[in-house]
Amino acid sequence: FRRDEHADWVDFFWNKNEAEYWAKTDCEEHWRNMVRQSEALWPEIFKKIGKVVKSGKPAIFEGVNILPHLAHKDLDFPGIFLLGESLETILRRNKQDPRWGQTEELQKKEAEIFFNCEGPKYKQEAEKHGFKTFPDPMLAEKELLKILRIQK
């Protein structure tokens, strides 16, 4: 993302004290922040998706900012949403590749928020817009392969 155009949203979380943010921000407010960030960044994400689609090459688009209502509104191909398999799996992933938290305590908090707040919000929104959701990556992969076979 171009920081000059989206600096407030690209750096939204990075510009905050994470421990303070989690202490003061409930699930609903956090989800509103995620939605506002995603909607602000969506035109650029959509443009990048469009370039890949135009190339005709198969691709998987993945990211926390691809929200179901945005995909439903602008994308003319099917998709799925992979949710967190378990709190432990998300924590392990956060430790390997931190989204934000640099300490184990903050990574654990972030995993809890993803599993207990973001995940259910993604699921609710995805199902509202007709997308299938999967907590299990193996089941998600099977569905994705079905979609790819249909698209050929």
Please report which confidence band the pLDDT of residue 57 belongs to, taking 50, 70 and 90 as the band edges. Answer: confident
Supply the pTM of this predicted model. 0.87
Which residues, at least 6 apart from 148, have a Cβ–Cβ distance to it below 8 Å?
58
Which residues, at least 6 apart from 77, have a Cβ–Cβ distance to it below 8 Å?
53, 151
Number of domains in the chain: 1
129 touches 71 (CB < 8 A): yes
Domain membership of residue 88 as a residue range: 3-151
**Residue whose token pair is 């994400």:** 45
Lowest mean pLDDT of 30-39, 92-101, 105-114, name the range.
92-101
- Residue 135: CB atoms within 10 A of its CB come to 15
User: Which H or E run contains 13?
Assistant: none
Average pLDDT over residues 99-124: 93
Statement: residue 5 has pLDDT above 80: no
Q: At 119, give phi and psi (nearest 5°).
A: -55, -50
